[in-house]
Amino acid sequence: MNKTKSTALAVGSVTNAMRGRALLSQNGIVAEVGRARPDERTGCGYMLTVTGDADRAARLLNAAGIRVRSAP
């Protein structure tokens, strides 16, 4: 796993994104909140740009009830 690679995880609302960022930070993962490209099914929303282990980040988010709409 490339520790410096950036991956975008779409998470729906801006609240989810900020909650997710706090959760990932507690687990040592750096993430930034930004606007996501619109999803074909649900429409617009927000994403977390994760630096490092995006698989682990997605697992942490899903476990906390933050549904990752598009995984790496």
Q: Under a CB-based contact definition with an 8 Å cutoff, are residues 12 and 61 in contact?
A: no
Q: 46, 48, 54, 60: which one contacts another protein (CB under 8 A)? A: 46
Closest to another protein by CB, 23 vs 29, is 23
- Phi/psi region, residue 37 (left: phi>0; alpha: psi -120 to 50; beta: rest), is beta
Segment lying near another protein (by CB under 8 A), choices 1-9, 13-21, 54-62? 13-21
Q: 16, 31, 48, 50: which one contacts another protein (CB under 8 A)? A: 16
Please state, in angstroms and rounded to a whole number, the distance separating the CA atoms of residues 9 and 18.
12
Q: Which residue type sits at 46?
A: Y
Q: 8, 33, 49, 51: which one contacts another protein (CB under 8 A)? A: 33
Residue 1 beta carbon to another protein: minimum distance, rounded to whole angstroms? 28
